[in-house]
Structure 1
Amino acid sequence: MTFRTLLATCAALVLSVPAMAEVVQQAPDGFTTRDSVVVKGTPFDVWQTLIAPAGWWNKAHTWSGNPENLYISAQANGCFCELLPPPEGAPETIRRGSAQHMTVVQADPGRVLRMRGGLGPLQSEPAEGVLTIALAPAEGGTRIVWEYVVGGAMRYEVPVIAKAVDGVMSEQLRGLAKALGAVEVQGKTEGENENEKENPGEAEGGPAGKSEAKPSTTAKPAPPAEGKDAKSPKPKVEDAFEDLAGEE
């Protein structure tokens, strides 16, 4: 299954989100989702696996249906990108297409990988997302804190898209944990210490739990729609890839 056949999956994620997932902050124009896990290996072992997404990214969340087409250039301004196979019937002179999932803004081996971009249905929206994956030594291995912050204009109802994206983010973290060997999986509402609640990997590229700032966890209700906008329903999550669905 590729992004082109993800319509029903996105809708299902809204109704069935993994217990470990949590939308920790929500506002009328954005949201923050966070998850964590302890895996086997040193932070440098984890880093090497992290920057090779072909080995753990779910193929359901690719454009080509094959995670082996994914790669991360782990340098500032590097690309988390995907090569696309030539269209059926295309001349041999046609080059392969590609898709940019995110752009690397900070790569500190063994400590933090930070990338910017709208994943999945957010790619078609003006909203921007920042994914921070912070690594820190922990008992039995390495703790990974995975945080995705989204803000800006989008045509989706924030509570709906936030829950769907949160489910997908935790799904990717589970894939990474499976590739490395999970030591511990904790839900963020049970057994989470104070450090885990703080922002992972601050500007210095430090490991998780070193930030002083804490995002608000209080959801802010969206202001009521006014005028003509009130009559324009926002798209549903299952319509996110309508422009790509086509015929199977």
Structure 2
Amino acid sequence: MGKLWYILTAGLGGLAVVASVPARAEVTARTDSGFVIRVTGEVAASPAEAWKAFTTPSLWWNPQHTFSGEAANLSLDASANGCFCEKLPVPKGAPATQKPGSVMHMRVIYAEPYRALRLVGGLGPLQSEAVNGTMTVTFKPVEGSGGKSTRILWEYVVGGFMRYKTDTISGAVDKVLGEQISGLTKLIGPASPVDKKLLSTEPLAPEASVAGTRPGANDSATDVALPPPQEDAPTYTPDPTKDDAAAGESVKSALDQLFKKKDDRLPPGR
């Protein structure tokens, strides 16, 4: 990982998002002390299936962006305080008593299955810097797909002191995350053009219709039913409009509603 990240941060390029896959990543904000990257993709799967695939990074994360060189060494425990971790095998020729190493890429701080996942941590070269990185991932059924297509949206917000120029490092991280959403989308299967055409003619499917699996899918791997909606409980699910430019703000608004700040004003005369 170190070598490839160095190439990217040096501005010498990197693997771009595959054009045929309906997924993309972009830097939506940047200052001298931080940046925001938004990654989106539409897949031909229910939110439950998309969640299961996302939380199995060993199947879709590019091994070139790992420390061990093997995606099979990655794991993600999608529960609070769970770890997005990587095992480091014992090097050849190492003493027999040497134990395997490990890396914590990110830590889970919020998990609402099939709806949203939030992790914190510095990816790649950011791990060595004094920065905070927060990644929020949401899974939303695509309107008109009957729960068979899902829009995956994740935002990575980074801020703090770093020894990189933000215009350079943000571009590198943007390329790497763009490659990851492409790998995830290809694993699950991109939403087909036919599905997108139906969006303009089919009515919005009710929440209860989201459960189920794709026809022909492996039942043992994907036959997962979504939990019934909780009418009285607040939800993490954003409501992005069709305008992608507003998607990131929609996620933020949804989270702010869940974690409302108290207005503790001082009494008059204080």
TM-score relative to the length of structure 1: 0.73
Q: CA deviation at 1:155?
A: 0.5
| Structure 2 residue aligned with 1:219 | none
- Which residue of 158, 177, 191 corresponds with 1:150? 158
Corresponding residue pairs, total: 203
Matched, 1:196 2:247: yes
Between 1 and 2, higher relative CO (CA 8 Å, sep ≥ 6) is seen in 1
- d(CA) in 1 for partners of 2:77 and 2:172? 27
Residue 77 of structure 1: how far off its partner (Å) = 0.7
CA shift, 1:17, in A, is 5.4
Aligned partners of 1:33, 1:123: CA distance in 2, in Å? 17
Q: Distance in 2 between matches of 1:74 and 1:160?
A: 31
Does the Cα contact within 8 Å between 1:111 and 1:205 map onto a contact in 2?
no
Provide the rounded CA distance (Å) in 1 between the counterparts of 2:4 and 2:256: 40
Compared CA separation, residues 87 and 205, structure 1 to 2 (3 A): farther
Gap change, CA 1:184 and 1:29, over 3 Å in 2: farther
Whichever residue aligns with residue 102 of structure 1, its letter is M
CA deviation map 1:35-89 (0-9, x unaligned) = 2111011101111111110000010110000000000111111100000010221
User: What pairs up with 1:1-248 in 2 under 5 angstroms?
Assistant: 2-11=1-10, 18=17, 20-138=24-142, 139=145, 141-183=149-191, 192-193=243-244, 195-200=246-251, 202-203=254-255
Gaps of 5+ in 2: 194-241, 260-270
Q: Quick one: percent identity of the two aligned structures?
A: 42
How has the CA–CA distance of structure 1 residues 205 and 65 changed in structure 2, closer, same or farther, with 3 Å as cutoff?
farther
Tell me by how many angstroms 1:131 deviates: 1.0
CA distance in 1 between counterparts of 2:12 and 2:44 reads: 28
- Provide TM-score, normalisation by structure 2: 0.68
Give the letter for the 1:159 counterpart.
D
CA–CA distance in structure 2, aligned partners of residues 117 and 15 of structure 1? 22
Task: Output the amino acid matched with 2:163.
Answer: R
- Give 1:203 shift: 3.2
State which drifts further: 65-74 or 15-24: 15-24
Cα pair 2:90 2:101 within 8 Å, conserved: yes
Which has the higher Rg, Structure 1 or Structure 2? 2
- Give the Cα–Cα distance (whole angstroms) in 2 for the partners of residues 21 and 193 of structure 1: 11
Query: Are residues 62 and 46 of structure 1, via their aligned partners in 2, closer, same or farther at CA, if it must alter by over 3 Å?
Result: same
CA 1:67/1:182 → structure 2, altered by over 3 Å: closer, same or farther? same
Q: Work out whether residues 38 and 184 of structure 1, in 8 Å CA contact, stay in contact via their aligned partners in 2.
A: no
Counterpart AA for 2:243: E
Runs of 4+ in structure 1 off by over 4 angstroms are 12-19
Per-residue deviation, 1:9: 4.2
CA distance in 2, matches of 1:194, 1:100: 32
Change (3 A) 1:9 1:135: same
Tell me how far 1:198 sits from its aligned partner.
2.2
Q: 1:101 to 1:33 in 2, by over 3 A?
A: same
Report the Cα distance in structure 2 between the residues aligned to 1:92 and 1:181, rounded to whole angstroms. 43
Unaligned runs of 5+ in 1: 186-190, 212-248
* Shift of residue 178, structure 1, vs aligned partner: 0.7
Moved more, 66-75 or 139-148: 139-148
- CA offsets 1:185-235 (integer angstroms, 9 cap, x no match): 9xxxxx7346524243743898xxxx9xxxxxxxxxxxxxxxxxxxxxxxx
Over the aligned positions, Cα root-mean-square deviation in angstroms equals 2.8
Q: Classify 1:15/1:47 alpha carbon distance in 2 versus 1 (closer, same or farther; 3 Å).
A: closer
- Pairwise CA distance, 1:27: 1.2
Summarize the Cα distance change of 1:14–1:29 in structure 2 as closer, same or farther, 3 Å threshold.
farther
Contact kept in structure 2, 1:112 and 1:205, CA below 8 Å: no
